């Protein structure tokens, strides 16, 4: 399938300055400490969710997706299964896949509880709490130079791009009723902004920015109206800690 792009994701590359974070070791220590602190309470929640899923829709309870953590390095991202399995499944989830999302799956997706098992990806060292979402191999192969820069960081459960773009992306893709329409919309309208925001985060990441992203991600989950107010605020004045100059 050939798609003509209005935007080229490998264009406009910039030199990457040393990020003002506590360093890879410090970030990793933060991830491990937070993951261990959350493991016990989240384990109780995950056991409950797994039990309900097993009773409601049978096995498998988990969905494993091959993702890239670095050029040439793949890992299995773990989620709770929210869709009816099919023999072949790839690419973004558009409206053409909506029939496959179970009623319980919609609740898990809306609450982001389907992402909870990724705490084990964090403990395994494949992911961080905050970073770019881990891409599918096909995205990396299509934009190798841009992803070569983005994947200097561990992928994250949440991130600046996820926080700002997630709800908007869902609305765009929900209107796509075929695989071709979904692929075109994702490459034209979703991926460009996400990669730009990933590059902003790469240049300006700090511990305080990570904490800000985590806090605002939690807020969007527990207060549904927050994400709309937050998105309007970010659109009008995008000033999370220490990113305003980078965005310019």
Per-residue confidence (pLDDT) for residue 72, from 0 to 100: 87
In terms of average pLDDT, the best of 1-5, 154-158, 220-224 is: 154-158
- Structural element, H or E, at residue 34: helix 23-57
For range 41-45, the mean pLDDT: 96
Give the tens place of pLDDT for each residue, 146-164. Answer: 899 999 999 999 999 999 9
Longest Cα–Cα distance of the chain, Å, equals: 52
Per-residue confidence (pLDDT) for residue 179, from 0 to 100: 86
Lowest mean pLDDT among 80-84, 87-91, 131-135, 226-230: 226-230
Per-residue confidence (pLDDT) for residue 92, from 0 to 100: 79
CA atoms within a 13 Å half-sphere pointing along the CA-CB vector of 93: 14
Is pLDDT above 50 for 176?
yes
Per-residue confidence (pLDDT) for residue 226, from 0 to 100: 53
Is pLDDT above 70 for 70?
yes
Q: Average model confidence (pLDDT) for the chain?
A: 84
For range 14-42, the mean pLDDT: 79
In terms of average pLDDT, the best of 115-129, 131-145, 177-191 is: 115-129
For range 138-147, the mean pLDDT: 90
What are residue 79's DSSP bridge partners? 63
pLDDT band of 1, cuts 50, 70, 90 = very low
Is pLDDT above 70 for 5?
no
For range 76-82, the mean pLDDT: 97
Is pLDDT above 70 for 93?
yes
Answer positive or negative: Cα dihedral of 217, 219, 223, 227: negative
Report which DSSP code applies to 186: I
Per-residue confidence (pLDDT) for residue 90, from 0 to 100: 64
C-alpha distances out from residue 196 to 4, 44, 90, Å: 20, 37, 23
Residue 75, φ and ψ in degrees, nearest 5 = -150, 170
Is pLDDT above 80 for 121?
yes
Lowest mean pLDDT among 68-82, 123-137, 213-227, 234-248: 234-248
Per-residue confidence (pLDDT) for residue 213, from 0 to 100: 96
């Amino acid at each position: 399938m050939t798609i003509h792009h209005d935007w080229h994701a490998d264009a406009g590359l910039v030199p990457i300055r040393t990020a003002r974070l506590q360093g890879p070791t410090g970030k990793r220590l933060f991830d491990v400490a937070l993951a261990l602190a959350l493991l016990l309470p989240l384990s109780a929640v995950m056991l409950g969710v797994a039990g309900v899923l097993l009773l409601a829709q049978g096995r498998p309870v988990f969905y494993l997706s091959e993702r890239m953590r670095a050029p040439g390095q793949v890992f299995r991202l773990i989620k709770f299964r929210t869709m009816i399995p099919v023999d072949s499944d790839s690419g973004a989830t558009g409206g053409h896949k909506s029939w496959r999302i179970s009623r319980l799956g919609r609740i898990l997706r809306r609450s982001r509880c389907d992402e909870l098992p990724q705490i084990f990806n964090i403990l395994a060292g494949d992911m961080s709490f905050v970073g770019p979402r881990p891409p599918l191999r096909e995205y990396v192969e299509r934009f190798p130079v841009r992803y070569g820069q983005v994947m200097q960081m561990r992928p994250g459960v949440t991130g600046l791009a996820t926080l700002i773009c997630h709800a908007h992306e869902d609305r765009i893709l929900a209107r796509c009723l075929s695989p071709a329409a979904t692929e075109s919309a994702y490459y034209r309208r979703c991926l460009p902004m996400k990669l730009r925001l990933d590059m902003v985060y790469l240049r300006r990441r700090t511990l305080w920015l990570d904490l800000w992203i985590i806090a605002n991600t939690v807020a969007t989950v527990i207060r549904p109206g927050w994400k709309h107010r937050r998105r309007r605020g970010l659109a009008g004045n995008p000033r999370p800690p220490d990113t305003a100059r980078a965005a310019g």
